Amino acid sequence: MGVSGPQAMDIPAGVADDLLARFSDFVAAHTGLHFPRKQWRALARGMACAAREFGFEDPEACLRWIMASPLSREQIEILARHLTVGETYFLREKRSLEVFEEEIVPELIRTRQGDERHLRIWCAGCSTGEEPFSVAILLTAMGAALREWNISILGTDINPHALGRGVEGVYGEWSFRGPPQGFRDTYFRRTGDGRFEILPRIRKMVSFSYLNLAEDVYPSLLNNTNAMDVIFCRNVLMYFTPDRAKMVVERLHRSLVDGGWLIVSPCEASQFLFSRFKAISFPDAILYRKEGAGVEGQGAVPRDRGSAEAGQFVPAPLPADIQSPPPPLRAPTFCSPPPAPRPLPPYEAALALYERGCYPEAEEKLAVLLAVNREDVEAAVLQCRVYANQGKLAEARELLEQAIDGDRLKAGLHYLRAMILQEQGAADEAVVSLKRALYLDQDLVLAHFSLGNLALRQGKMKEARKHFANTLSLLDRYDPADILPESEGLSAGRLGEIMRTTAVSA
């Protein structure tokens, strides 16, 4: 993803600088996209095009109309289409992909044997899909080493038009300006109009979904953004304000399992932004790793270590333009300390930790609760979610099976079981669990939605449309602000917006 770049052209007549300044702040607050003064020409040019789609001849009148109320999902989509540029190609920034292929994936293969052969990758800001398909192709090229693995590759973007091209999987010559000779002919087939379609076996490895990184909707089991092993977020953060970029990085940190990797563009390396990660230096590349229990001292070792000793990482240098943060202010000594907050009850304390992404701490508190009362279904369900967000799928499923044995008539338990089964790659079993959930509660919206997504991924288009139609019909019974059952805070209005994007695929 990229913000429209500045061009040598005037700001359209009638758009005042002070209005562009306010609109730039408005766009940053709602989409995360940052347009500093030097890019106001690009902002005005993009808005001149967007205004016509909104039905305005006067761009300034359109800007005032948009800022009069919070942006709707449809408005965000239109702005994203005109204010971002999907400039990407296959195997872009090849060095970080080489580290992924030669160092990170082999480490995962070594450390995950038996029942834990899963690999979850998220390409955030994927634009038209070249990046997630590049990842899929690299994994396919590894052959037998990953043949029995459950591989999930997710591509998300704020621009639904770009996502539609990714779903289509058809590209022109310009998308192949990076790969070596033979790449295109091996993994694509020619179409009648001189373009190239990715092979079905590669296409089915990748799923696409709308996601606005500026919104607080991840990590989540619902949109498959939890327990990731590797997140690619390249050439995206540079277009956010510093505060918004910091917030996005915090959520990406929560979306990774302990030991997971965040891969950004070389120009985005920053000790300030990635202070919660451990910076790992490879020759010509810096990657960021989420630390956690059992991670310290482990990990991929750069093959060309230079001056580094074997088996050790080289700490990433502090970029020259980043200064050390100022020392914290000293607390005043003449004030009485504030009263200590009243401690939360154990379950509420665990829930608060879970919502903040403090999964190990939440797990510890819930373990104490369950040791006292193994029939505490509420604590067991939350512990399952904690396990799932850490990638502990076997533990999550085992605990959930126990909860279901204690209450087989609770539709939500079968729905959660289906979510975990999907992450384990057991799609057929997930379908069975979702149908059990609907047998117990035929109005469980998210079960219909999930069945539609599963059918879509399996190429069962007619079945997918039926489930999505059921989803939309049930959503009509809710007010947009209503929180849906089993959704962890997802509103009916937001699911309706997600449905509009999913319809692109169906």
Higher per-residue confidence, 408 vs 316:
408
Q: For position 85, what pLDDT does the model report? A: 66
**pLDDT recorded at residue 238:** 81
pLDDT-based confidence at residue 212 (cuts at 50, 70, 90): confident
- DSSP assignment letter at 267: G
Distance CA 209, CA 192 (A): 28
Segment among 382-386, 394-398, 410-414, 494-498 with least mean pLDDT: 494-498
- Give whichever of 311-315, 322-326, 440-444 has the largest mean pLDDT: 440-444
| 433: enclosing H helix or E strand | helix 427-440
Of 33-37, 40-44, 451-455, give the range with the top mean pLDDT: 451-455
Q: What is the pTM of this model?
A: 0.74
Q: Tokens 């690619």 appear where?
A: 232
Tell me the average pLDDT of the chain.
82
Q: What is the pLDDT of residue 336?
A: 54
Question: Nearest Cα to 358, choosing from 371, 370, 345, 349?
Answer: 349
What pLDDT is recorded for position 324? 39
What's the confidence (pLDDT) of residue 375?
Answer: 85
d(CA 461, CA 457): 9
Average confidence (pLDDT) over 218-235: 90
* pLDDT digits 0-9 by tens, 254-299: 999 999 999 998 888 888 889 999 999 998 889 999 987 555 545 5
502 in Cβ contact with 452 (< 8 Å) = yes
pLDDT of residue 323: 38
Cα–Cα nearest to 402, from 440, 374, 422: 374
pLDDT per residue as tens digits for the range 58-82: 888 888 898 887 777 778 778 877 7
> Which single residue is written with the structure tokens 């296409």?
203
For residues 37 and 370, which has the higher predicted lDDT (pLDDT)?
Answer: 370
Q: Which helix (H) or strand (E) holds 378?
A: helix 377-389
Instruction: Please check whether residue 167 is in contact with residue 502, taking contact to mean a CB–CB distance below 8 angstroms.
Output: no
Q: What's the whole-number mean pLDDT along residues 402-414?
A: 90
- Residues 349 and 367: their CA atoms lie apart, in Å, by 13
